[in-house]
Chains A and B, each alone.
Chain A
Amino acid sequence: TQLLEQSPQFLSIQEGENLTVYCNSSSVFSSLQWYRQEPGEGPVLLVTVVTGGEVKKLKRLTFQFGDARKDSSLHITAAQPGDTGLYLCAGDKGGSEKLVFGKGTKLTVNP
C-alpha cells in the first residue's frame, strides 16, 4: 500500500506553461517535504511544510499543505526547461526519523 500517492506520474509541457503536481494520502503527516531529483543525482530538498493550510513560495514554485495535513500540492508558474526533473513528496508521520516517499512526478519542460 502506497501511503503517498502522487499525480500525475508523468507531465510534459511547453516552456511558459503553469502546472500543478499533487501528493495525496489518507494518513495525517506531521510534516511534508518536496524534493527534486535530476537525472543521475540524488534528491535535493526544496521545501518542508509543517502547518495545515501553510503556503510557501520559492521563486516560481508554490507549495501548499492541506488543512488536514493529509495532502500537498506544488504549483509551478511559467515553467522553464531548468525545472525538468523528478519531483518527490515525502511525509513524516512522527515518532521516528523515517520518511515515506511518493513515487514521484516526472516533469519535462520543452523549450
Chain B
Amino acid sequence: DAGITQSPRHKVTETGTPVTLRCHQTENHRYMYWYRQDPGHGLRLIHYSYGVKDTDKGEVSDGYSVSRSKTEDFLLTLESATSSQTSVYFCAISSGGKTQYFGPGTRLLVL
C-alpha cells in the first residue's frame, strides 16, 4: 500500500469555522488530489497539485483552498465551513501514469 495518511480521520465542527485537513505521503509522488465523496455524486475533484506550490481547481472548488509547501503534504482548508461541506474527503497521490492511490478518508460533519 502507498504510504498516504490523512488527518484528522473524523471531525465535527460548527458552521462558519475554518477547518484544515491534512494529507501526508511518504512516496515522493508528484501529484496530489483532494476529492469529496457524497451519496448520489460519487467522487468529485476539489483541487489538485502537480508540484510544490503548483495547484489547480477541480470541479467543486468553491469554498475550498489548498496549499502545498512540501512534496509530502497537501492541505485542504474550508475557509468558513457550511453544512453542504459535510462529506467524506479523500486524498490521493500519483506519480503520473494515471493510477491514483487513495488515503483512508476524513469524515467531516458541519453542524
Contacts and interface: CB of A to CB of B under 8 A. Distances in A.
A92 B42 contact: no
Tell me the dominant secondary structure on chain B's binding face.
strand
Interface residues on B, range: 20 to 34
A45 B31 CA distance: 17
Contacts of A88: 42-43
B42 A99 contact: no
A103 B40 contact: yes
Q: Give the top 4 A-B pairs by smallest Cβ distance, nearest first.
A: A42-B102, A103-B42, A101-B43, A92-B98
Given A41-B104, A43-B43, A103-B41, 15 more contacts: A40-B105, A42-B90, A42-B104, A42-B105, A43-B102, A92-B98, A97-B31, A97-B94, A97-B96, A98-B45, A99-B98, A101-B42, A101-B44, A102-B42, A103-B42
